[in-house]
Structure 1
Amino acid sequence: MADILPDRPGSGWGHKTEHRARVRAQIVLWAARGRSNARIAVEVGVHVDTVRTWRSRFADLGLQGLADRKRQGRPTAFTALQAAQVKALACQLPAEAGRAAVALVVPGAGPRGRRARHRALLSASTVRRWLDQDALKPWQHRSWIFITDPGFRPKAERVLDLYARTWDGTPLGADEYVISADEKTSIQARCRCHPTLAPGQARAMRVNHPYKRGGALTYLTAYDVHQATVFGHCEPTTCIAPFMALVAQVMSQEPYASAKRVFWIVDNGSSHRGKAAADRLVAASPNAVLVHTPVHASWLNQVEIYFSVVQRKGVAPNDFTDLAQVGDRLRAFEDRYNATAQPFQWKFTTSDLDDLRARLDRHTADHPEESSVALAA
């Protein structure tokens, strides 16, 4: 042991070594060199009684004697019932609880009891620790919409079949195309009150929070599912006329103008909803076929994935002087995307759809009050 002792006290130890473990090890190692207790106390910087204690414990128990003994610790100030009450309260909305916060006290009597109650007031750090230990995150929530469209299965199946290049059980031909279209509304031009600071070493880009609003526009987009090609333009708002302008933008150029069929997958937005929208599309382009996703199932529309990419890589952080700059950014991003993009690897199939419906059916059977409309077989 003496051979591995550092030449100088405190040298040769790792920076992450716990201080008290280092002191105890130094005491033992100096003792192995034959130093007296008084000399060790001076060199290590502790009281001589401390040296005697750890030399004695090491002699009796070896290395295990250098560890702290188990202690009873300070008695808890709160009971398990009080902790459970706080957790139950945290899982309620403030309006349901009737208050914004809660303070629990430990019962007691007399001056000593009052001092105990004062010390036992529930702190915010205690609440955080309790919730963290139980993995409760009551401040988070997820919204969801239960499927109520009676035609969900056949509508979703048609969309998924088109992604797999099939229509009514027949493979699509080389001159048939699938377009996913929608509008990304209310893209604002936010002019920051102070210039954005570029990122630096160990520092993220800094974008000033206060901003002046410079208006908003709508980005209408048609996405060729199998060619990974985007067609888009900006409008002040969304309605039937801007959507039909998008249709004309796509269908007026090749290969769509002379294609056998071009399937347009859209959700149930007001500008392309129902049979009237399908009739308008056919009147404008006889080779176009409008295909609606089920109600509240826009997640089946692949253009939503492109919109997510635009939001993360094209628009954010939102720092534009005016709407013209927003439009220029969207057009430039669209050009770069078309130059390098690959089709999305869509993996949700009709088999996955059946599994989803089976899980929903089981959930409905267990909780019949949550759904009054059965899914179509």
Structure 2
Amino acid sequence: MPSPKPLPLELSDQERRVLRGWSRRRTASVSLVLRSKIVLACAEGASNSHVAQMLGVSRETVRKWRAQFAAHRLEGLMDRPRSGAPRKITDEQVEAVIAKTLDQAPPKGDTHWSTRSMAQAAGMSQSAVSRIWRAFGLKPHIVQTWKLSSDPQFVDKVRDVVGIYLAPPENALVLAVDEKSQIQALDRTQPVLPLVPTVPARMTHDYVRHGTTSLFAALDIVSGSVIAQHYRRHRHQEFLRFLKLIDEAVPKHLDLHLILDNYATHKTEQVKKWLLRHPRFHLHFTPTSASWLNLVERWFAELTNHKLRRSTHRSIVELERDIRGWINEWNKEPKPFVWTKTADEILETLAAYCTRINDSGH
């Protein structure tokens, strides 16, 4: 007995336009292109057998997608999202891994958990442990160093330095000053191999030393420009020479506020006597063990990352000339480092740190 003749499909102009677009789109899935062609052919009045023969598919396939479109229109041609494989790791197992990571010492006297040791302890795969650690931001293999200042005037010095950053005095220049000592002139034992596609630049791990130099730098916190000078040593004599250089470089009508660390050469009797004779100089000292408060350290990091870490030099003169060239280029388009945290925010963060330390039981 012949099967009943299927009802013809009627398409709106919008549906016809969308189906034609799908059937021609190169980025569409092969299945969506085929379903669109089936519906378009059926809408022209062709039978299921004729459409199947024309498109090289079975009559059952044509019947299925004709019915799907008739019932659900364009959405009926879309693939439904798949549920995926059932979850194998329970919430309790995830919680156990996190608890072990945070609270339990690793086995065999190790200093920290690895994915291998945790997988063995938790009875799951290393990849599962890795996914759990990533999801909760746990990195047992990484440790960061920190140190709390024991300076009895810590609070006062923080407020003084941060106050200068956030509200520089009028008719004055604020300079963050420090020395980067023991900069080594290093040359690799073999030529550096340049960057090529798929291969990074390469250099030997060993090197030849050709001496050291010290760089004294004063960073203008407003403009970002730098006054700098090389000296082969970093005693109070060199510091005094650098102060005189700053005095000559800055217009006389401006007061000078220098932010410094507590290095002994900054506080010798010779320095104090010179400062008494030059009253426009005002020194602001960061707390001990708090070099992060001196913005020039941020500039030294730029110098290290962009110039010193991967450069090679065969003499101190060559090193100093190279650094001077880099500083000259910096000063053509200086970039200030903007301080944003208030003294209260810094002190609140450190207070929370102290609370965590006291509560840790260590």
Length-normalised TM-score, structure 1: 0.68
Matches for 1:1-377 after TM superposition, within 5 Å: 1=11, 3-4=16-17, 12-15=24-27, 17-41=28-52, 43-44=54-55, 46-69=57-80, 73-89=84-100, 95-96=110-111, 101=116, 102-103=118-119, 122-124=125-127, 126-139=128-141, 142-163=144-165, 164-166=167-169, 174=171, 177-188=173-184, 189=186, 191=188, 193-197=191-195, 206-215=200-209, 217-225=213-221, 229-235=225-231, 238-251=234-247, 253=248, 255=250, 262-272=256-266, 277-285=267-275, 286-287=277-278, 288-315=281-308, 318-322=310-314, 323-341=316-334, 345-348=338-341, 352-361=342-351, 364=354, 368-369=358-359
Query: Once the 2 structures are TM-superposed, how far is the Cα of residue 66 of structure 1 from its aligned partner?
Result: 2.8
Query: Is this contact kept in 1: 2:179–2:234, CA < 8 A?
Result: yes
Query: Is this contact kept in 2: 1:58–1:65, CA < 8 A?
Result: yes
**Compared CA separation, residues 281 and 25, structure 1 to 2 (3 A):** same
**Compared CA separation, residues 68 and 301, structure 1 to 2 (3 A):** same
Query: Is this contact kept in 2: 1:190–1:211, CA < 8 A?
Result: no
Query: Once the 2 structures are TM-superposed, how far is the Cα of residue 320 of structure 1 from its aligned partner?
Result: 1.8
Query: Is this contact kept in 2: 1:182–1:221, CA < 8 A?
Result: yes
Q: Which blocks of at least 5 consecutive residues in structure 2 are unaligned? A: 1-10
Distance 1:47 1:235 in 2: 87
Letter in 1 for 2:300: F
Cα deviation 1:314-351 (Å, max 9, x = unaligned): 446x1323344332221112223334437654445xxx
Query: Is this contact kept in 2: 1:282–1:289, CA < 8 A?
Result: no
Query: Once the 2 structures are TM-superposed, how far is the Cα of residue 182 of structure 1 from its aligned partner?
Result: 0.8
User: What is the aligned partner in structure 1 of residue 6 from structure 2?
Assistant: none
Distance 1:19 1:52 in 2: 18
SS at match of 2:177: strand
Length-normalised TM-score, structure 2: 0.71
SS at match of 2:289: coil
Distance 1:269 1:43 in 2: 88
Matched length: 335
Query: Is this contact kept in 1: 2:261–2:286, CA < 8 A?
Result: yes
Distance 1:133 1:62 in 2: 40
Q: Once structures 1 and 2 are overlaid, which stretch shifts more, 215-224 or 70-79?
A: 70-79
Letter in 2 for 1:311: T
Query: Once the 2 structures are TM-superposed, how far is the Cα of residue 71 of structure 1 from its aligned partner?
Result: 5.8
Query: Once the 2 structures are TM-superposed, how far is the Cα of residue 152 of structure 1 from its aligned partner?
Result: 1.7
**Compared CA separation, residues 62 and 137, structure 1 to 2 (3 A):** farther
Distance 2:224 2:350 in 1: 33
Cα deviation 1:151-183 (Å, max 9, x = unaligned): 1222223334444344xxxxx6x5x65432112
SS at match of 2:24: coil
**Compared CA separation, residues 86 and 343, structure 1 to 2 (3 A):** closer
Distance 1:241 1:63 in 2: 84
SS at match of 1:232: strand
SS at match of 1:22: helix
SS at match of 2:85: coil
SS at match of 2:45: coil
Letter in 2 for 1:250: I
Q: Which blocks of at least 5 consecutive residues in structure 1 are unaligned? A: 108-120, 167-171, 373-377
Query: Once the 2 structures are TM-superposed, how far is the Cα of residue 60 of structure 1 from its aligned partner?
Result: 3.1
Distance 1:219 1:342 in 2: 19
Query: Is this contact kept in 1: 2:180–2:214, CA < 8 A?
Result: yes
Aligned-pair identity in percent equals: 24
Cα deviation 1:133-160 (Å, max 9, x = unaligned): 4455555554443454331222223334
Query: Is this contact kept in 1: 2:38–2:62, CA < 8 A?
Result: yes
Query: Once the 2 structures are TM-superposed, how far is the Cα of residue 366 of structure 1 from its aligned partner?
Result: 7.2
